């Protein structure tokens, strides 16, 4: 399996409008962080428990900043195809 490729952090800061914590739409009790672009489209999501296990965040802004380092290339390319 191919290793995931991520966009540069600075590019992610320009593309990502917000990260929202929410319940997974199909799995009861599972929390996710949905990532939205400036057009309001969800471009990808992260398992909240996994992200929180990776970092010791005190504020949600720290979680968002961490996620911006891991925006996959496919999320951005699929969003641009939908333009």
55 is a domain residue:
yes
1 is a domain residue:
no
4 is a domain residue:
no
The total domain count for the chain is 1
> What pTM, to 2 d.p., does this model score?
0.87
| 61 closest CA partner among 10, 13, 5 | 13
19-40 pLDDT tens trace: 999 998 888 889 999 999 999 9
* Contacts of residue 7, Cβ cutoff 8 Å, sequence gap at least 6: 15, 71, 72, 73, 76
45 is a domain residue:
yes
Range of the domain at 65: 9-81
3 is a domain residue:
no
54 is a domain residue:
yes
Residues 60, 63, 65, 66, Cα dihedral to 10°: 170
30-69 pLDDT tens trace: 999 999 999 999 999 999 999 999 998 889 999 999 999 9
- The Cα 1–Cα 39 span in angstroms is 32
**Residues making up the chain, counted from first to last:** 83
């Amino acid at each position: 399996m191919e290793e995931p490729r991520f966009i540069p952090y600075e590019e992610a800061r320009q593309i990502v409008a917000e990260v929202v914590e929410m319940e997974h739409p199909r799995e009861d009790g599972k929390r996710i962080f949905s990532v939205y672009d400036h057009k309001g489209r969800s471009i990808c999501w992260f398992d909240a428990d996994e992200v929180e296990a990776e970092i010791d965040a005190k504020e949600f802004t720290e979680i968002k900043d961490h996620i911006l380092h891991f925006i996959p290339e496919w999320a951005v390319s699929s969003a641009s195809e939908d333009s």
